[in-house]
Structure 1
């Protein structure tokens, strides 16, 4: 028979589980892509930036622009001052919290169990930051939105992991760009 962990050990296990869960979230962004189905993307060959992305870290701003440039240029598009398509990108961040409550006491003590009448409860608060990257493409002549890619993830504190997350997000957004490419190649 396996030994039953003490309530304090259970609290540590739950805290570790929460940290691992959040770390797992940080490694994979949630990506969504949408486009105007009436637009023929094969007619576009040039693009330009409306303004530099609103990103608080200058190195990350440059990596974001370089990453988008590389993906559009890999599709045969050329960056010019007044392109046929205008690129707009920004990042929004928000703090999130998770609460984990541990119950202490009684034969069923531990995570998620509560014994009526005695014992104590301890709640742990884990604060983390989520970020959403939004990349919009507009037809320069009509000023209409033609494509949008978004990626949302838990923001890592380590810059190397942040760079990897940015690359993974852009790869996911531009995987089937321009729209209709995946259907034509199948």
Structure 2
């Protein structure tokens, strides 16, 4: 029984972290209806840290494909070669190491505090530190003429230790890009 009580806060923490945490910011003075074309601000996809397990041509291709598809669905067209686009797109894939402290009361008693007495022994609080990684996919849209950031969207996910298959990676990237760009254009 005590072991299951100790695991409850951990399970709640992990289940709470399963959904993507979406963020967005934008320049409200910009006319987003005027933006009709886009191109990549090279390097189009950057990684932090620059780790070869993260920074791969395959991951970059998946991200570029998903972003292209979502921008097209939002009415933006890829600019023709050697032309100035209305928007420049830059994507960051960032992995941070984080910690969370979880405290649990262990032991103690139960019963009637109004004269019936308590049963059980003394209690104490155990605190554990959980180490985990968070992946952030950040999409920046810059004005093609002045180069200033006009829109930024991002999603954070807690990363699991199990390595996903290539098809799972593709689905995860597509889903995350879809969620981030679902906030564009700003309303």
- 1:1-186 to structure 2, matched below 5 A, reads 9-15=1-7, 17-26=9-18, 28-50=19-41, 51-55=43-47, 56-58=54-56, 59-80=58-79, 81=81, 82-107=84-109, 122-158=126-162, 159=164, 163-180=170-187
Question: Does the C-alpha gap of structure 1 residues 123 and 140 become closer, same or farther in structure 2, counting only changes over 3 Å?
Answer: same
TM-score w.r.t. the length of structure 2 is 0.71
TM-score w.r.t. the length of structure 1 is 0.71
Alignment gaps of 5+ in structure 2: 48-53, 111-120
Question: Does the C-alpha gap of structure 1 residues 90 and 100 become closer, same or farther in structure 2, counting only changes over 3 Å?
Answer: same
Question: Does the C-alpha gap of structure 1 residues 106 and 39 become closer, same or farther in structure 2, counting only changes over 3 Å?
Answer: closer
Q: Compute the displacement of 1:121 (Å).
A: 5.6
Alignment gaps of 5+ in structure 1: 1-8, 109-116, 181-186
Bigger helix fraction: 1
Query: Deviation above 6 Å: which 4+ runs of structure 1?
Result: none
* Backbone CA RMSD of aligned residues: 2.7
Q: How many residue pairs are counted as aligned between the two chains? A: 163
Mean CA deviation greater in 93-102 or 64-73: 93-102
Distance in structure 2 (CA, Å) of the matches to 1:25 and 1:162: 18
Question: Does the C-alpha gap of structure 1 residues 106 and 179 become closer, same or farther in structure 2, counting only changes over 3 Å?
Answer: closer
CA deviations on 1:75-128 (whole Å, 9 max, x unpaired) are 2322234422111110222112223344555536xxxxxxxx966664433211
